[in-house]
């Protein structure tokens, strides 16, 4: 759970500031998304702190500390935005992106598989869940900003399709067995597959389902009526379910 919360916070923050949204939506959208990012980072810190392992305690404390740093820096730029100090808020928001990357790297070090594989899985998961979360919030924002063009939601739908491809590659790169023979993830779930192997197939299936939902989002947005955005937002709800289920399953391989 700490891994999924951390990567969602990192992905949502990165996609929030790396897109040209600052010049497209009102600052209220940044306040909404930033509040959720801070809560997710705090949740990652809490979940990580509750799962300390004696063999990896020092590395785990670093990951938790970086999660708290992401939450604190996000809260700070939210306060700056609230008092209308926009430029420092935006700069600090950009600074949370490398800080979030460092947080994911610290969590990746806790896995028993090659570092580059685990880090790639977390970065791909961040892009995947971040696109789903930001897309859902953006779809709802159209209800408050009637003059907002279709550009942001169309771009988010395209990002989600790209994220599905990257996430599928990350799931496959992780393999279909436990990283540590004899560990909890290698326990037998059925006569043919280990627990980690079954979880990987479930994760891949959920990723492909999210890809199908992303295609439906693109098709819904072809409509010219305002209800097209509402329909796309409804599909984003389905994407939340499939994406987060897939991520939870994919991270079973990280179990010791």
Please tell me the predicted confidence (pLDDT) of residue 4.
93
For the stretch 71-128, pLDDT in tens is 999 999 999 999 989 899 999 999 999 999 999 999 998 887 788 888 999 999 999 9
- Structural contact between residues 185 and 195, judged by C-beta atoms closer than 8 angstroms: yes
Q: What is the mean pLDDT of residues 52-65?
A: 77
Query: pLDDT grade, residue 55 (50/70/90)?
Result: low
3-state SS of 138-161 is HHHHCCCCCCCCCHHHHHHHHHHH
Listed by start position, the domains of the chain span 1-110, 115-256
Mean per-residue pLDDT of the chain = 86
Q: What is the mean pLDDT of residues 34-43?
A: 95
Query: pLDDT grade, residue 177 (50/70/90)?
Result: low
Pick the residue with more confidence: 217 or 196? Answer: 217
Query: pLDDT grade, residue 230 (50/70/90)?
Result: confident
Residue 58 neighbours by CB under 8 Å, 6+ apart? none
What helix, strand, coil percent values describe the chain, rounded to 5? 80, 0, 20
Determine which of 54-68, 113-127, 217-231 has the lowest per-residue pLDDT on average: 54-68
Query: pLDDT grade, residue 197 (50/70/90)?
Result: low
Q: What is the mean pLDDT of residues 20-28?
A: 89
User: Does the pLDDT of residue 156 top 90, yes or no?
Assistant: yes
Pick the residue with more confidence: 225 or 16? Answer: 16
Q: What is the mean pLDDT of residues 143-147?
A: 83
Structure tokens at 102: 């460092």
The CATH number assigned to the domain with range 115-256 reads: 1.20.120
The structure's pTM equals 0.86
Structure tokens at 46: 């809490």
| Percent of the chain topping pLDDT 70 | 88
Whole-number Å distance between alpha carbons of 40 and 63: 14
- Structural contact between residues 136 and 240, judged by C-beta atoms closer than 8 angstroms: yes
User: Does the pLDDT of residue 143 top 80, yes or no?
Assistant: yes
């Amino acid at each position: 759970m700490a891994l999924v919360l951390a990567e969602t916070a990192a992905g949502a923050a990165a996609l929030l500031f790396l897109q040209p949204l600052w010049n497209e939506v009102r600052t209220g959208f940044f306040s909404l998304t930033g509040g959720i990012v801070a809560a997710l980072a705090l949740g990652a810190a809490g979940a990580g702190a509750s799962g300390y392992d004696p063999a990896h305690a020092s590395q785990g404390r670093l990951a938790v500390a970086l999660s708290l740093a992401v939450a604190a820096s996000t809260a700070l730029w939210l306060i700056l935005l609230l008092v209308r100090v926009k430029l420092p808020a935006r700069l600090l928001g950009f600074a949370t992106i490398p800080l979030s990357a460092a947080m994911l790297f610290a969590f990746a070090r806790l896995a028993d598989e090659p570092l580059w594989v685990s880090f790639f899985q977390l970065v791909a998961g961040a892009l995947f869940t971040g696109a789903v979360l930001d897309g859902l919030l953006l779809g709802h924002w159209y209800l408050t900003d009637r003059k907002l063009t279709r550009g942001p939601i169309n771009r988010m739908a395209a990002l989600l399709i790209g994220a599905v491809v990257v996430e599928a590659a990350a799931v496959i790169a992780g393999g279909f067995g436990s990283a540590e023979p004899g560990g909890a993830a290698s326990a037998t779930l059925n006569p043919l597959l280990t627990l980690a192997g079954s979880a990987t197939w479930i994760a891949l299936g959920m990723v492909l389902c999210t890809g199908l939902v992303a295609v439906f989002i693109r098709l819904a947005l072809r409509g010219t009526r305002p209800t097209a955005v509402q329909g796309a937002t409804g599909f984003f709800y389905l994407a939340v379910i499939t994406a987060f289920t897939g991520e939870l399953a994919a991270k079973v391989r990280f179990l010791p």
